[in-house]
Amino acid sequence: MPQPPTTLSDELGIALSNLADAARAPFTPTLRLGVTGLSRAGKTVFITALVHNLLTGGRIPGLAALTEGRLIGARLAENPDPGVPRFAYEQHLAALTGKSPHWPDSTRRISELRIALKFQSQRWPGGLLGPTVLNLDIVDYPGEWLLDLPLLSLSYAEWSAQALERGDRPHSRHDAERFHAALAQTHPLAEASDAEAERLAAAFTGYLRASREDGRALSALPPGRFLLPGDLEGSPALTFAPLPPPAGPVRSTSLYATLERRYEAYKAIVVRPFFRDHFARLDRQIVLVDTLRALNAGPSAVVDLEAALTDILAAFRQGDNNPLTRLVARRIDRIVFAATKADHIHSASHDRLEAVMNRLVASAARRARFAGAETRSVALAAIRATRESQVDAHEVIVGTPEAGESLDGVTYDGDTEIALFPGDLPAQPDSLLEDGTSVALKFLRFRPPSRLARNAEGNVVLPHIRLDRALEFLIGDKLQ
C-alpha cells in the first residue's frame, strides 16, 4: 500500500511545527513517543505503568541508564501542546493503586504527557558538562486512527470497492448482513436525503462495530472515527458509507455524490490534521497488540491481525523526498511491536509469544527496515496481574478473574483466586499463518494486583513483564 501522500501545505505545516517544537525547547532535546494500539490493547495501562516506573525509579533493570546509575531523576513537566488533552496519569494511577484496585478507563482520544528525564550522559564532550535533560513526550492515540491514514491515498470509489469486498468475505458476511440489506434498498443515483445517508451510515457503523466486538476481527476497519467519534458524532463528515460503482451519470445532488463529498470531508477534517499535527511529529512508536486475544479467536483473526499490522506500518513516513522538509521533518526511526498482557501465560511461553509477534510483523518489519527504521517485537505485561505456580506437572498462572468472567461453565465472582493452565503456544509460529493452526488458550480477564509492595521511598511498586526491555529500545540510546 502506498504511503499517504501529503500536500505541499502539509509538508510546510509539518516542517513549521517541528521548527516550533525546537523553538519552544531550544536547549532541551525532546523525544516524541507515540503509543498506539486498537481499543483495549492496553495503551492506558502501559503509559500509566511506564510513567510510574520512570518517576519512582521502579523495577526497570533493563533500562541501562538506571542500572548504570546515570538516571538522576524524572518529573512530570508542563505539556508542550496547550490544545491537546493531558493524559490523566494521576487518575489512572489512583484507579490501579487505590483501596480497591481496578483497571483505569481506556483511551478514547488523543492525549499527551511530558516527562523530563535528568541523566548523566556518557558521551564526550556533553557528559563533561554535568547532567543533561531529555523531554519525553508520550502521545497516546487510538490505533483506529492510524488505520485511517491509507484513506489519504484512496478515492471514494477505491475505498468503497475495498470496503465492500471485505464485507463480502465469508467471515464478515454475518456481521455485514444488516448493512447489505440497507444497501439493497438504496438508490445511489437518486436524489440524496440526510435521512437516507444516516440510515446507511448507521448500518455501516453497526457492521464495523460487530466485526470488532465478537473478538474475532482485531483489525478494525476504517474509518476509525466511526467507532470512536468524540465530538464529531453525528456530523456529516461522519455520516457516509461505501457504495457500489455508479451505474450511470452522477448528478451532484445524488446520494453517491453526497457521500463522496462527505468521504472527502472526513479526510480533510479528520485524517489529514491528525497526520500533520500529531503523527508526522513522532520520533518513536510503540504499537500495542492484544495478540493472545487474536490467537484465542482463531486463524482468521490471526490473518486479519497480520494484515492490519502491515497496513499500520505502511502508514509510517518512509524516507523524505521533499527538499523543503528534509532538514527539519522528523521521522520514526524505531518501532516496537508489543504483544500485551503476557501475564496471561506462563513465563515459559513468553519467548514463544515474542516469536509469534515477530512472525506477525515480519513483512511489515521488512518494509520498515528498508525505509531505515529499526523494529523490535516484545511480549510484555505493563502490569502483572498474575503469579506463577505449578499444579501436577503443569505450569499454571494464579490470579483473580474479574466478576462475571466465565470459563468451562464456571462464572467467577471477582473475589476468588484460581490457578489456570492457559495452554501452550506453538513452537513454530509459521503454522499459525501458513496452515491456519488454531491455538486453544484459556483466556480470562484478571483483576489488577491488590497487594502491591512499596520501595524504600514508600512508593508503590507496579510489577510488570519486560516493560523495561521495550523502554530501553525506545529511549535507551537517547539516555547515553
> Which positions lie near ligand GDP, rule CB under 6 A?
37, 39-45, 103, 106-107, 340-341, 343, 381-383, 385, 445-446
- Sequence-distant (≥ 6) Cβ neighbours of residue 386 within 8 angstroms: 343, 344, 397, 398, 399, 446
Least distance in Å: CB of 26 to ligand GDP?
Answer: 34
Cell of 1: 500500500
Q: How many CA atoms lie less than 13 Å away from 244 in the CB half-sphere?
A: 13
Of 97 and 106, which has the nearer Cβ to ligand GDP? 106
CB of 77: closest distance to ligand GDP in angstroms?
Answer: 23
Q: In the complex, what is the shortest distance from the CB of residue 39 to ligand GDP, in angstroms, rounded to a whole number?
A: 5
Cα–Cα distance for residue pair 287/470, rounded to 1 Å: 11
Nearer to ligand GDP by Cβ, of 45 and 200: the residue is 45
Kindly state the smallest distance separating residue 379's Cβ from ligand GDP, in Å. Answer: 11
Query: Which of 219/258 has CB closer to ligand GDP?
Result: 219
Question: What minimum distance in Å lies between the beta carbon of 35 and ligand GDP?
Answer: 9
Collect all residues with Cβ–Cβ distance below 8 Å to 458 and sequence separation of at least 6.
Answer: none
Q: Among residues 394, 274, 275, 376, which one has the least CA distance to residue 333?
A: 376
Contact 16, 267 (CB under 8 A): no
Q: Which is nearer to ligand GDP, 44 or 377 (CB)?
A: 44
* Phi and psi at residue 478, to the nearest 5°: -85, -5
**Angle, CA 442 vertex, CA 436 and CA 443 arms, to 5°:** 100
Q: DSSP letter at 382?
A: S
Q: Is the CB of 200 or the CB of 397 nearer to ligand GDP?
A: 397
Q: Per-residue DSSP letters for 161-184?
A: HHHHHHHTSTTTHHHHHHHHHHHH
SS3 457: coil
Q: How far apart are CA 99 and CA 140, in angstroms?
A: 27
Q: How far is the CB of 124 from ligand GDP (least distance, A)?
A: 39
The residue among 96 and 314 lying less far from ligand GDP, judged by its C-beta, is 96
Enter the C-alpha cell of residue 381: 505485561
**Comparison of 93 and 134: residue with beta carbon closer to ligand GDP:** 93
- Do β-strands 284-289 and 334-339 pair in parallel, antiparallel, or remain unpaired? parallel
Q: Are 334 and 284 in contact (CB under 8 A)?
A: yes
Residue 40 Cβ vs ligand GDP, minimum distance, rounded to whole Å: 4
* CB of 294 or CB of 479, closer to ligand GDP: 294
Cβ nearer to ligand GDP, comparing 41 with 65: 41
Nearest CB to ligand GDP, comparing residues 32 and 40: 40
CB of 14 to ligand GDP, least distance (A): 26
CA–CA distances in Å: residue 325 to residues 62, 112, 301, 392, 475: 35, 25, 39, 62, 24
- Rounded to an integer, what distance in angstroms lies between the CA atom of residue 44 and that of residue 141? 10
Contact 199, 234 (CB under 8 A): no
Least gap, CB of 406 to ligand GDP (angstroms):
16
Provide the edge-to-edge strand list for the sheet that holds 334-339. 71-77, 111-119, 132-140, 30-37, 284-289, 334-339, 374-379
Q: Which residues, 6 or more positions from 345, have their beta carbon under 8 angstroms from its beta carbon?
A: 292, 353, 397, 422, 423, 425, 441
CB of 45 to ligand GDP, least distance (A): 4
Q: Which is nearer to ligand GDP, 37 or 429 (CB)?
A: 37
CB of 212 to ligand GDP, least distance (A): 12
Cα–Cα distance, 285 to 264 (Å, whole number): 28
